[in-house]
Amino acid sequence: MIRWKRGGYLLVLDVIFINIAFILALYLRFDGVPAQYWEVFFTMFVPSTLIRLTTHYFFGLYRRAWRYASVQEALAIVAAVTLGTFFDVVLSLFWFQSNLPRSVVVLDWSLCMAFIGGSRFLLRMWAQREAAQAPEAAKESCRRVLIVGAGDGGALAARELRNHYGPRVRLVGFIDDDPLKKNQTILGYPVLGTRDDLARVASEQQVDEIIISMPSVPRQVIRELVNIAQSTGKRVMIMPGVYDLLEGNVTVSKIREVQIEDLLGRDPVKVDIAGVSGYLTGRRVLVTGAGGSIGSELCRQIAKLKPKVLLLLDNSENNLYDIEMELKATSDVPLAVLVKSIQDRRGIEEVFRRHQPEVVFHAAAHKHVPLMEHNPEEAIKNNVYGTYQVARAAHLFGAEKFVLISTDKAVNPTSVMGASKRIAEMIIQYLDTVSNTSFAAVRFGNVLGSRGSVIPLFRKQIMAGGPVTVTHDKMIRYFMTIPEAVQLVLQAGAFAAKGEIFVLDMGEPVRIMDLAETLIRLSGFRPYVDIDIKVIGTRPGEKLYEELFTSEEGVDATKHQRVFVAKPTSLNLPLLQTTIHALETNPQAVLPGDSASTLEFIQRFVPEFKLVEAQPAQLEAAVAREGKQA
């Protein structure tokens, strides 16, 4: 009702402005209005007004919120007035046979622009003045915000804050490293300095909140800016990435707290879309472990490439239901949802017989190192026997590609889980030598935010008030975001041809102690003061550092700068042939039934396997804490 009331007022004003503009144009042209043109005016008054109001309505001049007017609204006014003037000229020339002087037409257009555009932007100025003259109490209670980044992202953030919050947020200005922007204004707000001035400006302007809005800069720059902003003690927020900016998805709801992914993640991956879509678009694609962290992200990204059908297989009905509902809400790709265990030979065969998948991504696995140390036979049954069943079915039913999701823990394994994944790699390498299916494996390290990983654990411990537990103060790990890992898995799948083991570039390793300290700071606390960090000793099977390939393997480059291929190593083919034959005929005879036989089974396949026992906490924790009091 309010919108229509406001639009009605504008419509009445436009009727007045349209006709005053025409009369004034005649007056300016002739120093008065000749009698013959009064006749033209009264003849054209009704049809001309109706035509112009129609063009105004068509371009939305009565539906827009003019207090937030910007370039788009200005362009709409220009288009509406220009089109209305054109129709007016046509009407006078062909209908009323009245040839108006061109100078009158130009003056009429200019005056209409001034009256109609001016009335709208006066509304905008009045709304901003009203906000600026808010009661002093409201001004004192509003949040004072400083934006880091005076480019497109910063301007969008400023506009969103102004439009969404109005007087509740007071933008004090921008910080930008471009010296040419200093002392300039963006949307009426000053650029107050560079990053070197950030702490000073935040203090002088009594800032409550700092928003980092530089979505296209490298992550290293983001890390540096976050560190500087956090040193001020102010609340630090961040804008979304460059893809959201380009797609126009930047809204005030996307401005959020800085997360560890913003600091550890890397610049966006460039994927060969043609190469990836070439083997997925229009194909029947199966993802095992579809409800897990990696499996569900595989499903999301594959769905965007429009497969003929996407098969989701998992033994967890809850996880499977979640990803099914999400995909149905965001994609129109046909889905087949399959609750199955990968150890169920008949069930897996039936899936392949009925659905005939052409591409298989095998993400189903037991992955928790400590749990598998206590249940080693289950690691072999699932990660080895289960992988064999899915790979065997891919071979028997003629799938084109099979991609195994592996792990850096398969390299020189010290845990049962890592060793089981190394045996799975060996099995698919062997099958590649006897099958028309192209088998490959992709190794990578930890992914940020996956279930059971260290980051969700640290967050829970911080929310509980601490302490944050670290197994060793010198432990390091490789990290990448789940979307990046999956993009590179899909890229590696495009390269798969002959039993390769692909290795992803994981970037620089991260010290887990540093990670814990950063997470505590991001949560608004001080390490060792508000939240303690406790070293509890390494767990069974845990290494201080992970490797992505053995010294024997080495790596070769591929066409993608973040995907490498490990050089093939010799396989114990007689052992693999004997084991696979036994798995075919009598799996119970070859699968281990207890911990001792499991370790013996692993040792036969992976001679380099060395089980690492748990190590008690060292006194280094106290030393570290004393040296890092914040």
The pLDDT assigned to 65 comes to 60
Residue type, 379: A
For residue 331, the tally of other CB atoms under 10 A from its CB is 16
Query: Of the residues 181, 367, 409, 421, which is catalytic?
Result: 409
Domain boundaries, position 121: 2-132
- Tell me the percentage of the chain whose pLDDT exceeds 90: 22
Closest CA to 281 of 261, 307, 319: 307
For the stretch 189-222, pLDDT in tens is 889 989 899 999 999 989 988 988 887 777 778 8
On whether both 193 and 334 belong to a single domain, the answer is no
On whether both 230 and 119 belong to a single domain, the answer is no
Q: What is the mean pLDDT of residues 107-132?
A: 76
Of 394 and 466, the one with more pLDDT = 394
Q: What is the mean pLDDT of residues 222-244?
A: 77
Q: What is the mean pLDDT of residues 47-53?
A: 86
CA distances in angstroms from 593 to 22, 344, 366, 580, 601, listed in the order given: 96, 17, 17, 17, 10
On whether both 144 and 120 belong to a single domain, the answer is no
The pLDDT assigned to 250 comes to 46
Q: Is the pLDDT assigned to residue 396 strictly greater than 50?
A: yes
Of 339 and 487, the one with more pLDDT = 339
Is residue 322 situated within a structural domain? yes
On whether both 151 and 128 belong to a single domain, the answer is no
**Locus of tokens 């108006």:** 100
- Tell me the percentage of the chain whose pLDDT exceeds 70: 79
On whether both 34 and 170 belong to a single domain, the answer is no
Q: What is the mean pLDDT of residues 449-459?
A: 74
The pLDDT assigned to 313 comes to 97
For the stretch 123-180, pLDDT in tens is 767 766 655 555 444 445 578 999 998 888 888 888 778 767 766 788 889 999 888 8
Q: Which long-range contacts (C-beta less than 8 Å, at least 24 apart) are formed by 140-143?
A: 142/167, 142/168, 142/169, 142/170, 143/168, 143/169, 143/170, 143/208, 143/209
Is residue 267 situated within a structural domain? no
Residue at a domain's end among 106, 132, 158: 132
Q: What angle do CA 324, 437, 347 make, to 5 degrees?
A: 45
| CATH number of domain containing 186 | 3.40.50.720
For the stretch 80-95, pLDDT in tens is 888 888 888 887 776 6
The pLDDT assigned to 147 comes to 92
Q: Which residues pair with 361 in a beta bridge?
A: 287, 403
Is residue 431 situated within a structural domain? yes
Is residue 266 situated within a structural domain? no
Q: What angle do CA 388, 442, 330 make, to 5 degrees?
A: 95
Q: What is the mean pLDDT of residues 111-120?
A: 84
At 439, is the secondary structure helix, strand, or coil? strand
pLDDT band at residue 13, thresholds of 50, 70 and 90? confident
How does the average pLDDT of the chain come out, rounded?
A: 80
On whether both 305 and 430 belong to a single domain, the answer is yes
On whether both 177 and 306 belong to a single domain, the answer is no
The pLDDT assigned to 440 comes to 92
Is residue 626 situated within a structural domain? no
Determine whether 266 is exposed, middle or buried from the number of CB atoms within 10 Å of its CB (0-12, 13-18, 19+).
Answer: middle
If DSSP states are collapsed to H, E and C, what string results for 236-247?
A: EEECCCHHHHHC
Q: Is the pLDDT assigned to residue 548 strictly greater than 70?
A: no
On whether both 105 and 117 belong to a single domain, the answer is yes
Domains contained in the chain, number: 3
On whether both 537 and 590 belong to a single domain, the answer is yes
Of 161 and 249, the one with more pLDDT = 161
Of 120 and 401, the one with more pLDDT = 401
On whether both 209 and 315 belong to a single domain, the answer is no
304 an active-site residue?
no
Is residue 611 situated within a structural domain? no
CA distances in angstroms from 310 to 81, 264, 318, listed in the order given: 51, 31, 18
Q: Is the pLDDT assigned to residue 616 strictly greater than 80?
A: no
What's the pTM value of the predicted model, to 2 decimals? 0.65
Output the six-digit token pair for 430.
């062997």
Is residue 158 situated within a structural domain? yes
**Locus of tokens 């102004």:** 162
Closest CA to 377 of 232, 556, 587: 587
For the stretch 339-386, pLDDT in tens is 999 999 999 999 999 999 999 999 999 988 888 888 888 888 899 999
Is residue 618 situated within a structural domain? no
Tell me which range, 85-94, 389-398, 590-599, is most confidently predicted by mean pLDDT: 389-398
Q: Is the pLDDT assigned to residue 234 strictly greater than 50?
A: yes
Of 571 and 251, the one with more pLDDT = 571
Determine whether 517 is exposed, middle or buried from the number of CB atoms within 10 Å of its CB (0-12, 13-18, 19+).
Answer: buried
Q: What is the mean pLDDT of residues 50-54?
A: 87
The pLDDT assigned to 1 comes to 40
The CB-side HSE value for 353 (13 A sphere, CA atoms) comes to: 6
pLDDT band at residue 471, thresholds of 50, 70 and 90? confident
Residue at a domain's end among 103, 132, 161: 132
On whether both 388 and 478 belong to a single domain, the answer is yes
Residue at a domain's end among 97, 132, 167: 132
On whether both 95 and 198 belong to a single domain, the answer is no
CA distance 149 to 157: 10
Output the six-digit token pair for 118.
């001016």
